[in-house]
Amino acid sequence: MSARFPELPAEALDEAQRAVVAAMTAGPRGGVIGPFTVLLRAPAVADAVQRLGAGLRFSGLLDDRLREIAILTVSRRWQAQFEWFAHHPIAVKAGVDPAPLERLRQGEDPRFADATEQLVWRLSNTVLDRGRLDDADFAAGRDALGEARFVELLTVLGYYTLLSFILNVGEVPVPAPKPFPDAT
């Protein structure tokens, strides 16, 4: 909930919104949280977005560590407070070393010890900065991940950028302390 998009009371939800709430509550997320509290106002969009996210996060091919590094790179790029708050513990639980994540949070090169983790961070940063990859970076990503996982990585970057925009514009709150205290 946010001041910009206050909580929608259950009794005020229309049939389409109730269907999204039911699907999300029955699914792996267990409820409507974060960006979905905003997206629920457009139930067809909320449903499409949550299904894509569930596919990427819970049924995807990309290793959990690599996916979470990409998500946190997006979060840092857009200073999406809620995204970092929600995904940092998931990354650590998946086996990502917290020290490089702290460097990432501070806007530094995280210097991941694992070469593939560092590559995913570098490629993610490049895509977020430029919207494209040169031939060498494209080949490095495809060769390291395989085509399907590489495409999934690119999709994760776009998906979590979408969520970052919803979170930031909607000013979805995060418990203190904020991961990016200087972000407005």
Segment 5-52, tens digit of pLDDT:
998 999 999 999 999 999 999 988 888 999 999 999 999 999 999 999
Mean pLDDT, range 126-149, rounded to an integer: 98
Quick: pLDDT tens for 86-104.
999 999 999 999 999 999 9
**Share above pLDDT 70 across residues of the chain, in percent, rounded to a whole number:** 99
pLDDT of 184 > 70? The answer is no
Measure the CA angle with vertex 69, ends 67 and 74; round to 5°. Answer: 95
For the packed helices 135-145 and 147-170, what is the interaxial angle rounded to 10 degrees? 110
**Per-residue model confidence (pLDDT) at position 181:** 85
Q: Is the pTM of this model over 0.85?
A: yes
The structural domains of the chain, ordered by start, are 10-58 (no CATH), 64-169 (1.20.1290.10)
Quick: pLDDT tens for 165-180.
999 999 999 987 889 9
Mean pLDDT of all residues belonging to the chain: 95
pLDDT of 1 > 70? The answer is no
**Per-residue model confidence (pLDDT) at position 182:** 83
pLDDT of 2 > 80? The answer is no
pLDDT of 81 > 70? The answer is yes
More confident residue, 184 or 41: 41
pLDDT of 68 > 80? The answer is yes
Quick: pLDDT tens for 123-137.
999 999 999 999 999
Listed in sequence order, the residues at least 6 apart from 91 whose beta carbon sits closer than 8 Å to its beta carbon are 65, 68, 69, 71, 72, 101
CB 46, CB 20: distance < 8 Å: yes
